[in-house]
Structure 1
Amino acid sequence: MPFYKAINIGSCATVFLWKIEEDFTELFRAVRLKDVSLARLEGMKSESHQKGFLCVRMLLQHCGYSDFDLYYDEFGKPHLKDGKHISISHSADFSAIVLSDKNIGMDIEQVKEKVLRIAPRFMDVSHLVNLSEADQTRKATVVWGIKEAIFKLKNEAGISFPDHIFEDEFSLADKKGKARLHFNNTVEDYEICFESIENYMLVCALKAD
């Protein structure tokens, strides 16, 4: 089974990655699903999404949990029954979960050239100047991941990527950064860390102390 690796995020969180190489039947037979999860799985039109969903459950089992320990609130945010914080993401060949003592948001994104075409819609493109096209693509992917991760962590309707979430300038080599959420007349600061995983970018966001 291709458990890929674990990555520690400071002292409070660990990301667990699964590289999706099994076929659907192998994955389906390896997990136990509650009825609501089975219905959700059957409603997915894409086998890629189905396998990503099942590999998240494989990761839960790897960490000593099961699908029966996971539930979603009215806004679609995942929770574990024991109170441990969790965030979930999957993209093409990878599924990922992060388990944390603190509220956390996590996103994994495949690095694709098309992100540069839509970059002006969600980020400050001045942060891409003086970079090669390859690094522009990677950095824009990180910024998208930052905004997804903060959106997942905050979990409130109405948050806009371009209008409410702002990343500070950062270097790809640093693998960390800062961002802010301006929403509902408040400003919240976030610590960001990111990691390159093959042709993917993994991003985590934690509220700054």
Structure 2
Amino acid sequence: MPLDKIEQINPSRLVGIWHITENLDQLLQLITLTERQREEMNLHKVDNKKLEWLSARILIKLMAAQFDINFEGIEKNEHGKPCLTKSPCEISLSHSYPYVAAIIDKTKDVGIDIEQPKEKLQKVAHRFLSTPELDFIKDDTLMLCKAWCAKETLYKIYGLRGLVFSENLLLEPYDHTNSGIITGNIIVNGSAKKYKLEYKVTEDYVLTYNVS
């Protein structure tokens, strides 16, 4: 079972990474699905998407067990945000094949994102970055990937649609290091809320999630 890790961030929060190496049949042996859940999985026509869907649920099931929570599935609320069935815990999921990331907290809103740095981010940077962000990130693909992950994380924390990444989700300058903290701000209707986002850079991906 290629569970990469489950890390405890604080007494109420866990972060997990799954590296997909299994085929569909092997993953199905690790979790029991209802007929409705199988139908949901099969809505994905591409095999890799089915593998991501399954791996995310296996990972969350393992993480929930560490909090003595019985995993009954994942649903989406009216805003499309994933939620644990019959549990008040907050969760967030992300995938960039062959990796899946998840975060769970007993009470507080959470967000997580995992991506592989790609040059195509250069073409869309102006769409999700503000002018000050473009100035300090410049054309650095890795820095762009950190920014994209950080803003996706903030978007998932907020949990509602309608945000403009370049206006409502703003990042303070951060370092070129492989691990550290990005300070992000969610600004809506003139009111700002600040979050500390941890980032980690590996040979295969960039990961961000909120620690506050």
**Shorter-chain TM-score category?**
0.7 to 0.9
- Shift in Å, 1:67: 5.5
Structure 1: runs of 5 or more not aligned: none
Task: Give the aligned partner of residue 116 of structure 1.
Answer: 122
Q: Is 1:163 the counterpart of 2:167 in the alignment? A: yes
8 Å CA contact retained: 1:16, 1:96: yes
Structure 2: runs of 5 or more not aligned: none
Provide the C-alpha distance between the structure 2 equivalents of 1:34 and 1:28, rounded to a whole number of angstroms: 12
Amino acid at match of 2:167: D
Provide the C-alpha distance between the structure 2 equivalents of 1:107 and 1:94, rounded to a whole number of angstroms: 11
Provide the C-alpha distance between the structure 2 equivalents of 1:20 and 1:69, rounded to a whole number of angstroms: 20
- Shift in Å, 1:120: 1.8
Deviates more, 1:104-113 or 1:181-190: 181-190
Change (3 A) 1:137 1:39: same
Give the superposed CA RMSD. Answer: 2.0
8 Å CA contact retained: 2:57, 2:73: no
Change (3 A) 1:68 1:193: same
Deviates more, 1:180-189 or 1:143-152: 180-189
8 Å CA contact retained: 1:34, 1:67: no
Task: Give the aligned partner of residue 72 of structure 1.
Answer: 76
Q: Is 1:83 the counterpart of 2:88 in the alignment? A: yes
Per-residue CA deviation, residues 31-55 of structure 1 (Å, 9 max, x unaligned), is: 2123332222111121111100110
> Scaled by the length of structure 1, what TM-score is found?
0.87
Amino acid at match of 1:116: Q
- Shift in Å, 1:69: 4.1
- Shift in Å, 1:117: 2.2
Amino acid at match of 1:198: E
What are the within-5 Å matches in structure 2 for residues 126-137 of structure 1?
126-129=135-138, 136-137=140-141
Change (3 A) 1:197 1:35: farther
Aligned residues: 202
Amino acid at match of 2:135: S
Provide the C-alpha distance between the structure 2 equivalents of 1:95 and 1:152, rounded to a whole number of angstroms: 16
Task: Give the aligned partner of residue 22 of structure 1.
Answer: 22
Amino acid at match of 2:162: G
Tell me the SS of whatever aligns to 2:111: strand
Q: Percent of pairs identical after alignment?
A: 25
Task: Give the aligned partner of residue 202 of structure 2.
Answer: 197
Task: Give the aligned partner of residue 186 of structure 1.
Answer: 191
Change (3 A) 1:19 1:66: farther
Change (3 A) 1:113 1:9: farther
> Scaled by the length of structure 2, what TM-score is found?
0.86
- Shift in Å, 1:197: 3.3
Amino acid at match of 1:46: V
What are the within-5 Å matches in structure 2 for residues 143-154 of structure 1?
143-154=147-158
Deviates more, 1:42-51 or 1:74-83: 74-83
